[in-house]
Structure 1
Amino acid sequence: MPRLVTNWRAVLRYAWTVRLALLAAILNGAAVTVSIITGSLPVAPMWLAALNGVLAVAVPVVRIIDQSNLKDDDNE
Protein backbone atom coordinates (compact mmCIF):
# COMPACT_ATOMS: atom_id res chain seq x y z
CA MET A 1 0.00 0.00 0.00
CA PRO A 2 1.39 3.47 -0.87
CA ARG A 3 2.65 5.56 2.03
CA LEU A 4 3.41 9.24 2.31
CA VAL A 5 7.05 10.26 2.39
CA THR A 6 8.21 11.44 5.78
CA ASN A 7 8.68 15.03 4.57
CA TRP A 8 5.40 15.29 2.68
CA ARG A 9 4.72 18.84 3.91
CA ALA A 10 8.02 20.07 2.46
CA VAL A 11 7.35 18.18 -0.78
CA LEU A 12 3.94 19.84 -1.17
CA ARG A 13 5.40 23.26 -0.43
CA TYR A 14 8.71 23.21 -2.32
CA ALA A 15 8.78 20.42 -4.94
CA TRP A 16 8.80 21.68 -8.52
CA THR A 17 6.86 18.61 -9.64
CA VAL A 18 3.95 19.68 -7.45
CA ARG A 19 4.21 23.29 -8.64
CA LEU A 20 4.20 22.35 -12.32
CA ALA A 21 1.36 19.86 -11.92
CA LEU A 22 -0.72 22.51 -10.10
CA LEU A 23 0.10 25.07 -12.80
CA ALA A 24 -1.10 22.65 -15.48
CA ALA A 25 -4.31 22.00 -13.55
CA ILE A 26 -4.95 25.72 -13.04
CA LEU A 27 -4.33 26.53 -16.72
CA ASN A 28 -6.60 23.70 -17.86
CA GLY A 29 -9.31 24.77 -15.44
CA ALA A 30 -9.05 28.38 -16.58
CA ALA A 31 -9.24 27.36 -20.25
CA VAL A 32 -12.33 25.24 -19.65
CA THR A 33 -13.99 27.97 -17.56
CA VAL A 34 -13.32 30.67 -20.16
CA SER A 35 -14.52 28.37 -22.92
CA ILE A 36 -17.77 27.64 -21.08
CA ILE A 37 -18.45 31.28 -20.24
CA THR A 38 -17.52 32.89 -23.55
CA GLY A 39 -18.00 30.02 -25.96
CA SER A 40 -14.45 30.29 -27.27
CA LEU A 41 -10.88 30.18 -26.03
CA PRO A 42 -8.79 33.38 -25.75
CA VAL A 43 -5.88 31.64 -27.54
CA ALA A 44 -5.66 29.03 -30.26
CA PRO A 45 -6.16 25.46 -28.95
CA MET A 46 -2.78 24.57 -30.47
CA TRP A 47 -1.04 26.85 -27.96
CA LEU A 48 -2.88 25.32 -25.01
CA ALA A 49 -1.97 21.85 -26.23
CA ALA A 50 1.67 22.90 -26.66
CA LEU A 51 1.80 24.38 -23.16
CA ASN A 52 0.24 21.24 -21.70
CA GLY A 53 2.80 19.15 -23.54
CA VAL A 54 5.69 21.24 -22.21
CA LEU A 55 4.37 20.97 -18.65
CA ALA A 56 3.79 17.23 -19.02
CA VAL A 57 7.41 16.75 -20.10
CA ALA A 58 8.75 19.13 -17.45
CA VAL A 59 7.19 17.32 -14.47
CA PRO A 60 9.27 14.11 -14.70
CA VAL A 61 12.37 16.10 -15.70
CA VAL A 62 12.27 18.27 -12.58
CA ARG A 63 11.50 15.18 -10.50
CA ILE A 64 15.03 13.86 -11.06
CA ILE A 65 16.74 17.21 -10.40
CA ASP A 66 18.21 17.57 -6.91
CA GLN A 67 16.07 19.88 -4.83
CA SER A 68 18.28 20.60 -1.84
CA ASN A 69 15.45 22.34 0.04
CA LEU A 70 13.65 18.96 0.27
CA LYS A 71 15.77 16.98 2.70
CA ASP A 72 14.37 13.83 4.24
CA ASP A 73 13.47 14.30 7.91
CA ASP A 74 15.44 11.17 8.82
CA ASN A 75 18.65 12.45 7.22
CA GLU A 76 18.77 15.91 8.74
Structure 2
Amino acid sequence: MARRTVLTGDERHRLFDPPVTDREVARHHTLSPDDLEWIDARHGPSNQPGAAVQTALLRHPGFGWRAGEVVAVAVLRLLAD
Protein backbone atom coordinates (compact mmCIF):
# COMPACT_ATOMS: atom_id res chain seq x y z
CA MET A 1 0.00 0.00 0.00
CA ALA A 2 1.36 3.41 -0.96
CA ARG A 3 2.16 5.81 1.80
CA ARG A 4 0.11 9.00 1.85
CA THR A 5 1.71 12.34 2.49
CA VAL A 6 -0.03 15.30 4.00
CA LEU A 7 2.34 17.90 2.57
CA THR A 8 3.73 18.29 -0.91
CA GLY A 9 7.49 18.67 -1.28
CA ASP A 10 7.10 22.42 -1.84
CA GLU A 11 4.90 22.81 1.25
CA ARG A 12 7.39 20.84 3.35
CA HIS A 13 10.25 23.08 2.20
CA ARG A 14 8.31 26.28 2.93
CA LEU A 15 7.45 25.07 6.43
CA PHE A 16 10.72 23.50 7.54
CA ASP A 17 13.59 25.02 5.56
CA PRO A 18 15.45 27.72 7.44
CA PRO A 19 14.53 31.30 6.61
CA VAL A 20 16.99 32.98 4.27
CA THR A 21 16.26 36.71 4.31
CA ASP A 22 16.95 38.97 7.28
CA ARG A 23 13.24 39.81 7.43
CA GLU A 24 12.22 36.13 7.62
CA VAL A 25 14.89 35.43 10.25
CA ALA A 26 13.66 38.34 12.37
CA ARG A 27 10.03 37.28 11.98
CA HIS A 28 10.66 33.68 13.00
CA HIS A 29 13.41 34.01 15.59
CA THR A 30 13.08 37.29 17.48
CA LEU A 31 12.84 36.57 21.19
CA SER A 32 10.17 38.25 23.29
CA PRO A 33 10.95 40.17 26.49
CA ASP A 34 9.55 37.20 28.44
CA ASP A 35 11.90 34.84 26.59
CA LEU A 36 14.88 37.06 27.38
CA GLU A 37 13.87 37.30 31.05
CA TRP A 38 13.55 33.51 31.26
CA ILE A 39 16.95 32.99 29.66
CA ASP A 40 18.61 35.57 31.94
CA ALA A 41 16.98 34.24 35.13
CA ARG A 42 17.63 30.54 34.69
CA HIS A 43 20.82 30.18 32.73
CA GLY A 44 24.38 31.23 33.45
CA PRO A 45 26.30 33.38 30.96
CA SER A 46 27.94 30.36 29.35
CA ASN A 47 24.57 28.68 28.69
CA GLN A 48 22.55 31.70 27.58
CA PRO A 49 23.51 31.53 23.88
CA GLY A 50 22.49 27.86 23.69
CA ALA A 51 19.22 28.53 25.51
CA ALA A 52 18.49 31.39 23.11
CA VAL A 53 19.16 29.18 20.08
CA GLN A 54 16.96 26.39 21.47
CA THR A 55 14.13 28.84 22.17
CA ALA A 56 14.38 30.37 18.70
CA LEU A 57 14.44 26.99 16.96
CA LEU A 58 11.44 25.78 18.94
CA ARG A 59 9.51 28.62 17.33
CA HIS A 60 10.63 27.76 13.83
CA PRO A 61 10.84 25.07 12.58
CA GLY A 62 9.18 23.80 15.76
CA PHE A 63 11.79 21.47 17.21
CA GLY A 64 15.00 22.07 19.09
CA TRP A 65 18.61 22.08 18.04
CA ARG A 66 19.54 18.55 17.03
CA ALA A 67 22.95 16.90 17.21
CA GLY A 68 24.98 17.61 14.10
CA GLU A 69 22.65 20.37 12.93
CA VAL A 70 24.22 23.63 11.81
CA VAL A 71 22.30 26.75 12.80
CA ALA A 72 22.12 29.39 10.09
CA VAL A 73 24.57 32.25 10.54
CA ALA A 74 21.75 34.78 10.09
CA VAL A 75 19.91 33.27 13.08
CA LEU A 76 23.02 33.30 15.25
CA ARG A 77 23.77 36.90 14.26
CA LEU A 78 20.22 37.99 15.17
CA LEU A 79 20.38 36.26 18.55
CA ALA A 80 23.82 37.65 19.31
CA ASP A 81 22.61 41.19 18.63
Fold-level match, TM-score > 0.5? no
Structure richer in helix, relative to its length: 1
Using structure 2 for the length normalisation, give the TM-score. Answer: 0.27
Using structure 1 for the length normalisation, give the TM-score. Answer: 0.29
Select the structure of larger CA radius of gyration. Answer: 1
